[in-house]
Structure 1
Amino acid sequence: MSAPEDRPTASAPPSVPGEPVRVRATKWLGQPHWEFDGIRLGADAHGDWVGFPSGTRFARPGNAFVATWDSVSLFPRAGWAAAFNADHPRGLGIYVDLATVPEWRADASGATVSYVDLDLDVVERAGAPAFIDDEDEFAEHAEAFGYPADLVARVRADADAVLRAVQRREPPFDGPTAAGWLARLAERSPVE
């Protein structure tokens, strides 16, 4: 099996808000990772936004959970995917997967956005400074799986840039940007 490549978007994301979206993250060389379903909220200058209401099931081999909080994810035309959580039980506000460029596909079953999770994450929890997580995993996998040197350099640079953007509160990490998308999700979610 060949290594994944950073490619531009294969097809356009769904254009109608409310359409279902399947999110599929793999690890290098196609190993399964997280999969979950959301709804398209729309797009802005930062990329495409997908919402995940409380009750969404997130699953990967050996682990699954049902979220008790709302979240939205941003899929930019860059090497990362960001999640923004509302009222997360452990205070997790921002979680950014460093990745290949998210790729959209559409078929008879609907839209799917997929990317290869490249280990590094930028994490921010309430009351704590943002940090880069899983550096040991990234170094181990880069060697074990033979990540190309240019990919390693790009992921490292992207992680540093995203961390700075989170620390400086640059959009989309400014707070109001994600809050606006969370509000759109709340408008679409059924009230219990």
Structure 2
Amino acid sequence: MFQGSAIGRVAVFVDGDNVPAPHAPAILTAAREWGEPHVLRTYGQAQNLTPWQEVPGFRFFCAGLTNSASAFRSACSEFIELDAASPPVVKTSNGVPAPAPAKTEPMPTGPAIGPFDRKIRETILAAPEKGMMEITRLSAELHKLHGVRIGSQPEKTWRGYLGKRPNLYLLDPKGPNACVRLRAEGWPAG
């Protein structure tokens, strides 16, 4: 189980074919350790999801063509009817046009990865938490392992340095136990 501070908004995806609905309270409790659940979705075959419809907050959005089975449609909180003649046209069961897909935000950019960043990454990955570390501990570890002090960098502070590289690091809000996390997608594979 996660043993850290909450990270913000959380999406919960449940395997509705294999996880019974009575597990919902435990799933939500676990999710809240990570942050506030904003998306609650259960996936599976429509006939297996009926008990999940009774769980507050969980909804079932289904999509199909005009000829989709009525049993499938009735298992859905909302059925989105797709027009087979022109796939981009989407109609909901109540005739209201489906909302446009949410825009995804581009990956933040920052300076290129340099030797100092590689030392930071190596130090964070060596920590017991694997992928995260308190910023104050990062400072001490980098000095101990590599003889490096943040004052030798133009930014002069850890928050300044790490914050300038949002493509590589995620920072907790300011505080005595604030952590830095590696942003996995910002680092080359391997």
**TM-score band (shorter)?**
under 0.3
Task: Determine which structure has the larger strand proportion and give its number.
Answer: 1
Higher relative contact order (CA 8 A, sep 6+): 1
Higher helix share: 2
TM-score in terms of structure 1 length:
0.22
Compare CA radii of gyration and give the structure with the larger one.
Answer: 2
